[in-house]
A and B are shown apart, each in its own frame.
Chain A
Amino acid sequence: MLTLNLILNILLLGIVPFFWGLALCFAVAGTGFIAFVLVSRKRKNLHAAQLQEISAKCQPFLTELAFEGTIPEEYRDLEKQLRSTNNGKWIILNELIKIRKYFQGEAASYIEEYYTKNRLYKLSLNKLYSTKQHQKIVAINEIMDMNYLGATRSLLQFIHKEKSPELVSNALIALTKLDYKLGLNRIIEQDIYLSDWFQLQVIKILDEGKVYEIPPLVKWTKKSTSHALMGLRLLIFSGAMDQMDELSSLLNHENDKLRLETIKAFRTLEYDEISFTLILRYYNEPTRNKCEIIRTLEVLNYKQNLAFIRLCAKSDDSEIQRVAKEALRRLTPEEIRLGVNAPIIHLFTPTLQRAV
């Protein structure tokens, strides 16, 4: 007992200086953190002030450039002076990118022309070959925003080499922006998960470019579930009605979400013939998909749909009941009597909305 006491006591005495040392380390670290905050803050403020000043100088002539296509005489010297330094170039590029986002048509092409003519793309390409992830993202975005076609090959190489799925996704989006056909085909080949966010951005680009020529659905479904989903969304986007067999086969896919989107697709494309198949499939689907089937049947024109929706309105599942009852409520008494849907409902489908 006594020896144990001794050991503990020595340990305790030895541990006191240790704790003091530790306390000193913590104190130094804490002071260091705050010193860093204050120093970096001063530099940041100085830098920000300079940046703002130069940006403010740029804005008038860049606005002129966007609206008129040329930089007026009175700004030429300033612009040249800015462009002569790397820092100035960098600021101009940043401002260009900010302003580019608001415009399309002529204004956009003026800005892109300026970017190419003044070789600002060199800045972007350098960043693409950088070792820092952050720089790579910046580069991909700049190339995409400025629609710089000269970078197509560099992007393809980049996609081939890069390991990070985030960067590859970004690069695929940029590639699609530069060359729709090449980009889409590359996406089909790429072994990568295509998130909804990714699909949304690609579709946005196709929409802006008014591109409705999409690789056939079969090519997408062969690759993976997320590819199939993307193919499906692109099909809806393009409004193509010639691949219904392939689309119908997706109703047998094992993935719940994919089937849900397939059902939605039939509604958006207003493919009436599918009604009976949907009714047959109804009982094997989870609740979310069941609701989607009801909403789709409401829109599709098939004389037995109404009776079926009425049946659904008596379901034990309150979610299904609600969707069915809402569907019935939207139908006017006249429609219910006739058992068909009036065009008024079709007004709310996305295809027609786009037409409006």
Chain B
Amino acid sequence: MKIYVFEDEALLLKSLEFRLSKEGYDVNCFSNGLEAKQKLQEELPDLIITDIMMPFLNGLELISFVRNDLKSQVPIIVLSAAGLEKTVLEAFNLGADDFVSKPFSPNELLIRIKKMSHRIKISVM
């Protein structure tokens, strides 16, 4: 399963990449919103994990880009700082599927990813 992770904190990005690829996922990481946009135009993954605050193109725009411009229903998990309820609600309105607040519990994230991938399999069948 192909996962794109968009996150601007390098260390977190690295550890997520390391862990997720160990879990058997095909992980692509991006630290800049625009890079992400270009990559999405080329190829869509099976799951997107995105931060809200990213340089140049924020997570909300990214979600709106995937849903409205690319017309894709690929699952999106938002990974963002806790306490930004207004932004999170906005993300859900724009079509995000799930939200994990930073600091997060890695196991919880893994379970949520698994749940999402399960959903993808069902929809493919």
Direct A/B contact, Cβ within 8 angstroms = yes
B11, A106: Cβ atoms under 8 Å? no
A101, B103: Cβ atoms under 8 Å? yes
A104, B103: Cβ atoms under 8 Å? yes
Q: How far is the CB of B86 from chain A (nearest CB, A)?
A: 7
Assembled-state Cα–Cα distance A353/B86 (Å): 8
- The answer, yes or no, to whether B18 is at the interface (CB within 8 Å) is yes
- The answer, yes or no, to whether A172 is at the interface (CB within 8 Å) is no
On chain B, the residues within 8 Å of A106 by CB distance are 105-107
On chain B, the residues within 8 Å of A99 by CB distance are 11, 15
- The answer, yes or no, to whether A34 is at the interface (CB within 8 Å) is no
On chain A, the residues within 8 Å of B108 by CB distance are 105
Partner among A59, A104, A207, A354 whose Cβ is within 8 Å of the Cβ of B104: A104
B89, A356: Cβ atoms under 8 Å? yes
Within 8 A of A (CB), among B81-125: 82-83, 85-86, 89, 102-108, 110
On chain B, the residues within 8 Å of A67 by CB distance are 19, 106-107, 110
Q: Mark A57-79, 1 if CB is under 8 A from B, else 0.
A: 00110110011000000000000
Q: Report, as a range, how many residues of chain A touch the other chain.
A: 20 to 34
A59-B102 contact in complex given A105-B108, A207-B83, A356-B89, C-beta closer than 8 Å = no
Assembled-state Cα–Cα distance A62/B14 (Å): 12
- The answer, yes or no, to whether B12 is at the interface (CB within 8 Å) is yes
Q: Report, as a range, how many residues of chain B touch the other chain.
A: 20 to 34
Closest partner residue, chain B, to A100 (CB atom)? B103
On chain B, the residues within 8 Å of A104 by CB distance are 103-105
On chain A, the residues within 8 Å of B19 by CB distance are 63, 67
How many inter-chain residue pairs (CB < 8 Å) link A and B? Answer: 56
Q: How far is the CB of A175 from chain B (nearest CB, A)?
A: 21
B15, A63: Cβ atoms under 8 Å? yes
A60, B18: Cβ atoms under 8 Å? yes
- The answer, yes or no, to whether A98 is at the interface (CB within 8 Å) is yes
Q: How far is the CB of B51 from chain A (nearest CB, A)?
A: 11
20 more A-B residue pairs beyond the given contacts A103-B105, A105-B106, A208-B103, with a C-beta to C-beta distance below 8 A? A59-B18, A60-B18, A62-B15, A63-B19, A66-B106, A67-B106, A98-B11, A102-B12, A102-B102, A102-B104, A103-B106, A104-B105, A105-B105, A106-B106, A106-B107, A107-B106, A108-B103, A208-B82, A354-B85, A356-B85
Footprint of A on B, CB under 8 Å?
9, 11-12, 14-15, 18-19, 82-83, 85-86, 89, 102-108, 110
Task: List, sorted by A's number, 19 A–B pairs whose CB atoms are closer than 8 Å.
Answer: A59-B14, A59-B15, A62-B15, A67-B19, A102-B103, A103-B103, A103-B104, A103-B105, A103-B106, A104-B103, A104-B105, A105-B104, A105-B105, A107-B105, A108-B103, A208-B103, A353-B85, A354-B85, A356-B85
